Amino acid sequence: MKNWKKLLLTVVPATHLLRSWGEGTVPSTAQGISFTAFAGQWSQDMNGWRYENDDGSYCRNGWYWLDGNQDGIAECYIFDNDGYAQVSLYNLTAKAGGYEVNDQGAWVVDGVVQEKKVEVPAAEIQPAEEVKPDASNDPAALEAYLAAQEKTNTLDSMDAQADMKMSMTMEGVSIDTNMDMNMKVRGAQTGNLEFVADGSMTMLGSDIPFQMFYTDNMYYMDMMGMKMKQEMPLDEALDQVASNLESVDMDLAMMKDMAMTTEDGNTVLTYGINTDNMNSFLNGIVGDMDTLYNGYTVSYNIRSASGKAIVDQNGYYVKEDMSLDMDMVMTDSETGESETVSYVMEMHMNINNPGQEVKFELPSTEGYEDLGSALV
């Protein structure tokens, strides 16, 4: 089921991405809207500057923190659909994606280049290679969980319903966010993947409907009257969102106290989360990089987390629920003063009739604006 979870992860963050453009939010690494690229190099041709990663790919379609001279300090740049950095002309600042960049393409606020500290490349902050199941897990339950995961990953199509409830509290003020989404997928195994996702997000009393779909290596997003499209091979999208998750077997490393019962002929699997391992993993990605977000270092503390999965009589997942209670601590690098944002989240996913062919019609592709052009 992990691969199907990855596919959902490519859809859900896009709702936050579109919302940020609609509201003019800063390109926030803390919210996962920008990405950090390591150990690459700048190159220039007649069309401008591009940043080539070690694997030969180029940064494109968004904001990236880059440490081009490997001095441990990264600056934030925005790249268009063709992979060229958006820069201002004649030494003047210009708007790119709603934010100011200077003549070298770096994000500036009031003329000051925004920076963050990066010390350890991503490849060096992976947890231990060998991950063993927690001794508290029932071996039979763990075997059933992994077998269902393997079988569900063979599905070529899926009809899934997901919803999330999140409460965020800071300095005594709470903001509740709810999101529900239905996603239909086909061609996941045959190489001709298509999906459509419809849903809505409720925040601060506003109900925001959204629709996203994917076909012919193009990602289409419609929210708040904004219709954007972005060329995005699926493998690239999955790797961008879930690259850190692939460095460790999350299921084996993080689960504890897994138990198995039966209910109405289905297998019910309950489990807890080893918060020590999860915090170590999460802060290994973010905290161990000693990342600086506009003068603040960020760390996470997961207080509790648990889950429940239901496997049907055919061996497929049909339902999974998860809950999470955590703090994000932001510390001023100069004064040492800290602020804590608390999150309480509930996530639910149902798979409708797994193993049966899923049929659906894709929306029209008319009227969508290329995301790279819209950022200029």
Q: Is residue 53 domain-shared with residue 134, that is, in the same domain? A: no
SS3 of 149, please?
Answer: helix
Residue 240 included in any domain: yes
Domain boundary among 79, 94, 117: 117
Is position 297 within any domain?
Answer: yes
Cα–Cα distance, 144 to 66 (Å, whole number): 43
Same domain, residue pair 127 and 50: no
**Is 109 in the same domain as 221?**
no
**Same domain flag for 83 and 173:** no
| Predicted confidence (pLDDT) per residue in 308-351, tens digit | 999 999 999 999 999 999 998 888 877 888 889 999 999 999 99
Q: What is the mean pLDDT of residues 35-40?
A: 56
Q: b/e string for 342-358 if b means 16 or more Cβ within 10 A?
A: bbbbebbbbbeebbeeb
Asked whether residue 25 carries a pLDDT value surpassing 80, the answer given is no
Specify whether 357 is located in the same domain as 228: yes
Residue 239 clears pLDDT 50, i.e. is over it: no
pLDDT in tens, 51-79: 888 777 888 777 788 887 777 788 888 88
pTM for the structure as a whole: 0.64
- Listing DSSP states for 215-284 in one string gives ETTEEEEEETTEEEEEE--HHHHHHHHHTTGGGS-HHHHHEEEEEEEEETTEEEEEEEE-HHHHHHHHHH
Distances (CA, A) of 267 to 28, 135, 312: 41, 21, 6
Top-confidence range, 11-25, 45-59, 199-213: 199-213
Q: Where is pLDDT greater, at 164 or 59?
A: 164
Give the pLDDT confidence score for residue 134 in this predicted structure.
78
269 and 255 in one domain? Answer: yes
| Residues 81 and 171 placed together within one structural domain of the fold | no
Place of tokens 């709470």: 174
Residue 82 placed within a domain: yes
**Amino acid code (one letter) for 217:** N
Domain of 75, in residue numbers? 39-117
What's the CATH number where 112 sits? 2.10.270.10
Which of 60, 91, 117 marks a domain boundary? 117
Mean pLDDT in residue range 128-142: 74
* pLDDT tens digit sequence for 259-293: 999 999 999 999 998 888 888 777 765 544 444 45
Residue 39 — very low, low, confident or very high, per pLDDT cuts 50/70/90? Answer: low
Residue at a domain's end among 99, 117, 135: 117
- Indicate whether 179 belongs to any domain: yes
* Same domain membership, residue 208 and residue 232: yes
In a domain? residue 34: no
User: DSSP class of residue 359?
Assistant: -
Closest CA to 157 of 188, 133, 180, 132: 188
Q: Which structure tokens are listed for 203?
A: 């925040």
Please check whether residue 198 lies inside any domain of the structure.
yes
What is the reported pLDDT for 4? 52
Residue 30 lies in a domain: no
Percent of the chain topping pLDDT 70: 71
Same domain membership, residue 197 and residue 113: no
Q: How many domains does the chain have?
A: 2
Q: What is the CATH number of the domain that holds 242?
A: 2.50.20
Residue 94 shares a structural domain with residue 198 = no
Residue 375 falls within a domain, yes or no?
no
Residue 363 has pLDDT above 80, yes or no: yes
- 199 and 343 housed in the same domain: yes
